[in-house]
Amino acid sequence: MEILPLAYALSLLTYIIGAVLYGSPIPARYVKKWGVMMMYDGIASAILVSAYGLVIKLGDHLLSIVGADWGNFTIWLTSRTGVLASMYLLLQSLGTMLKASGAEVLLEILKHAGALLATALTAIKTVYIISLVIYSLRDKILSIGVLLYSLPFRVGRSVGATLIAASLIYYIGLPLMPAFATIFEAPPVAMPSSGLGSIRGRVVDSLGNPLPNAVVELYGSGAVEPDVVVVADTSGRFYVGPPYDVMTEGTAFTSSVVFMGYRFTPDPSYLKVPWEGSLRVYNLVYAGQGLALSLIGVFYVGNVSRVGDGLLLDMEVLSETASVTILKLSAVNVSSIAVNGEDLQCSWGEFTWAGITVEECFVNLNRGTYTIELKYLGTEYPRPATTEKHYVGTADVLDYLISLQTIAISYVYSYLLLPAAYLTILSASTYALSKFLGGGMRFRLI
């Protein structure tokens, strides 16, 4: 380094000036005193310059003795930053959910927890910056400290001694921070087990065909009115969950499916968050193009086939009596209905549901095997004019948010207070070493 030769020259200059002052004919005592001090400073500076490489190796040797290294320290910092960042993103996501679901009253708890996490993140950033400076510039800090220490008349002695002490203390001390934190921090607080969940699935008929735009209703325990109303898409898929629905894991609902104005109990009818699967309506066959058959009784549905504009449905009635309700949109034109080859004249009734006009025809059957043939020209089944209803489990979400706030407080202790206390110890050690080297400037990094 170019700094070291300059520091060595300055130490030699300091010694020469001291020798000149000591040998000066001026009788004043302070002149000889300054001469002795500068001769001492010159020798001390020269020793520090000569021991520069030894000091560098000493830091690495001490780290190996205590079993610490900068690689593990960096991993430790990165893992903690990842925990805080993921927690912070979780709070932001929860805030979006609460706003979208209309539960803004709970945002204050979330804001408080977010402020605590932001403070802990700031502390981690501070440790990052200090460690980056020390690890990257340790050689330069040490050499500049030696240079300032070598200046004549002790102009830079305090600052130089402090830089020398800081380069050694912080280089050795920072990788020991994980061990310090392990001793004093409390056991980690686990994330609440009852986190937020969702319900997603697909509504299908007895044959596994999707029910387009089916209405899914979810009822809480003892509820008369549905707590959740959601309309499936054209492929029968539906979703209940964030950001519009806020419900914790373990929340249970009883489900029902409304299609073409009829309400059905699907299988399974009991859903527990989180849940994903198919809601199968076993007493409904959707023929497509706005026509369906609702089955009342005990049936075995066999083959279903389409030929042109015709539909063939083979079934067996297992109960003594049963009935089939043929449901169609008013725009669907049914040209003929035949049961076991015999034409059936239907008396169509009409009703309106959710902006959709539906016509129905009832066919009574006895025990036996049947083939139902329908010829019709259909149309796409529209989305019903149903107002969706979303769920916010206020009590459960409140408990969840309080748990998150407790975790945030524990993070402040582990990620802010403990690092601050450790940096204070390193600062005090730096001051003590700088005093030993003849400095004395108090060096604070926090």
Domain that includes residue 306, residue range: 290-377
123 with 13, same domain: the answer is yes
Residue 442 is assigned to a structural domain of this protein? no
Residue 427 is assigned to a structural domain of this protein? yes
303 with 352, same domain: the answer is yes
10 with 93, same domain: the answer is yes
Residue 154 is assigned to a structural domain of this protein? yes
Residue 337 is assigned to a structural domain of this protein? yes
Average pLDDT score over residue span 218-233: 92
Number of domains in the chain: 3
364 with 431, same domain: the answer is no
Residue 443 is assigned to a structural domain of this protein? no
73 with 147, same domain: the answer is yes
Residues 71-110 as b or e (16 or more Cβ within 10 Å = b): eebeebbeebbebbeebbebbeebbebbeebebeebeebb
Confidence class of residue 89 from pLDDT cuts 50, 70 and 90?
confident
183 with 233, same domain: the answer is no
36 with 142, same domain: the answer is yes
* 194 has pLDDT over 50: no
CATH code for the domain in which residue 246 is found: 2.60.40.1120
pTM over 0.85? The answer is: no
What pLDDT is recorded for position 271?
A: 95
Average pLDDT score over residue span 251-268: 95
What pLDDT is recorded for position 34?
A: 65
233 with 96, same domain: the answer is no
276 with 345, same domain: the answer is no
120 with 227, same domain: the answer is no
93 with 24, same domain: the answer is yes
Residue 445 is assigned to a structural domain of this protein? no
* 361 has pLDDT over 90: yes
pLDDT digits (tens, 9 = 90+) for 135-167: 888 878 878 877 777 777 777 778 888 888 888
Over pLDDT 90: what percentage of the chain? 29
Residue 446 is assigned to a structural domain of this protein? no
Residue 66 is assigned to a structural domain of this protein? yes
24 with 170, same domain: the answer is yes
